[in-house]
Amino acid sequence: MSDEQQRRAEEARRILDSDVFRTAIAEVELGFMNEWRNTRPEETGARERIHTAVNVLEEVRTQLRIVIEAGAISQNRLVKIKNWHSPNQSKRG
């Protein structure tokens, strides 16, 4: 894994684990839910906009998880490669 991938994975994990980030996301979602509850029946466009906004928040979390997983996968591959090339290993496979 490159140093850049490692750095990005660590930073993504810090963001996802951050109380500030989690609180901010929860507050934004709560705001959207309150907006949704206060729409009138004919305000379908407003509800669709709110639905899209909530989905975008989830997409941000998903993207951060992907960065973390990519770093973990790359780290796992690196460990396997190092083990495979280890001079102490008599069998490979």
Residues 35 and 50 sit within 8 Å (Cβ to Cβ): yes
∠ CA 29-65-82, nearest 5°, is 170
Q: pTM of the predicted model, to two decimals?
A: 0.68
> What is the pLDDT, as a whole number, of residue 32?
97
Chunk the chain into consecutive blocks of 10 residues (it has 93) and report each block's average pLDDT, rounded to whole numbers: 83 95 96 97 97 95 90 64 61 49
> What residue segments make up the domains of the chain, in order of their start?
3-84
Is the Cα dihedral 79, 84, 89, 93 positive or negative? positive
Quote the CA–CA distance of 7 and 36 in Å, as a whole number: 38
